[in-house]
């Protein structure tokens, strides 16, 4: 099954790749590795803002991480000139969670992105990962995630 078919099966339509909000680019292709800049949690209503351990449950944080993963794939689609079949595998996710000092479920939050990537990419979505806490994130968002993909 193609990536586009899996997305359709999940009821997900990729948005246009979000524009950078500062002095950087959305992605860099280096050889066959596609490095996608950190994508912040956002949905159709705008940035998903708040702090895990105060404003959001783990489940809500995982949904915010899933939103980041959707933006990561949107950037990958742009980098691949619209052809997601060029993705060979997801190599790594770097997850940042805006959380209180006593919050320790960052891995469960970032699972929202990891689970989504496996659902969309199958075994090629299994990846190395980091899931860390941050006292604040850009725009006050709940989650930010970057990615490295290997392309065919």
Angle in degrees, 0-180, between the axes of helices 106-121 and 58-79, rounded to the nearest 10: 40
**Is 104 part of a structural domain of the chain?**
yes
Q: Is the pLDDT of residue 21 over 90?
A: no
Report the pLDDT averaged over residues 27-55: 97
**Is 66 part of a structural domain of the chain?**
yes
Q: How would residue 141 be classed by pLDDT, with cut points 50, 70 and 90?
A: very high
What residue numbers bound the domain in which 7 lies? 3-12+34-151
**Is 117 part of a structural domain of the chain?**
yes
**Is 69 part of a structural domain of the chain?**
yes
- Concatenated DSSP letters of 51-118: -BTTTB-HHHHHHHHHHHHHHHHHHHHHHTTT-GGGEEEEEEEEEEEEB-TT---HHHHHHHHHHHHH
**Which pLDDT belongs to residue 31?**
97
**Is 23 part of a structural domain of the chain?**
no
**What domain count does the chain have?**
1
**Is 24 part of a structural domain of the chain?**
no
- Determine the 3-state secondary structure of 21 from DSSP: coil
Number of residues assigned to the chain: 152
Report the pLDDT averaged over residues 46-68: 98
Would the pTM count as exceeding 0.95? Answer: yes
Residue 93: which CATH number?
Answer: 3.30.1330.40
Q: What pairs with residue 134 in β-bridges?
A: 98
* Cα–Cα distance for residue pair 36/28, rounded to 1 Å: 7
**Is 113 part of a structural domain of the chain?**
yes
**Is 28 part of a structural domain of the chain?**
no
* Cα–Cα distance for residue pair 24/11, rounded to 1 Å: 31
pLDDT in tens, 81-97: 999 999 999 999 999 99
A 10 A CB-CB count for 26 gives 19
Report the pLDDT averaged over residues 99-111: 98
Here the tokens at position 45 are 């209503």
* Cα–Cα distance for residue pair 100/10, rounded to 1 Å: 32
């Amino acid at each position: 099954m193609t990536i586009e078919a899996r997305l359709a099966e999940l009821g997900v339509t990729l948005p246009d790749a979000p524009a950078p909000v500062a002095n950087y680019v959305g992605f860099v292709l280096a050889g066959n590795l596609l490095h996608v800049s950190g994508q912040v949690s956002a949905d159709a209503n705008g940035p998903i803002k708040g702090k895990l351990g105060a404003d959001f449950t783990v489940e809500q944080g995982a949904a915010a991480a899933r939103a980041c993963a959707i933006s990561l794939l949107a950037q990958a689609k742009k980098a691949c000139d619209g052809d997601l079949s060029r993705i060979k595998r997801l190599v790594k996710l770097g997850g940042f969670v805006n959380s209180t000092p006593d919050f320790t479920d960052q891995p469960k939050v970032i699972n929202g992105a990891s689970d989504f990537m496996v659902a969309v990419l199958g075994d090629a979505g299994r990846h190395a990962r980091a899931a860390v806490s941050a006292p604040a994130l850009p725009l006050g968002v709940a989650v930010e995630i970057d990615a490295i993909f290997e392309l065919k």
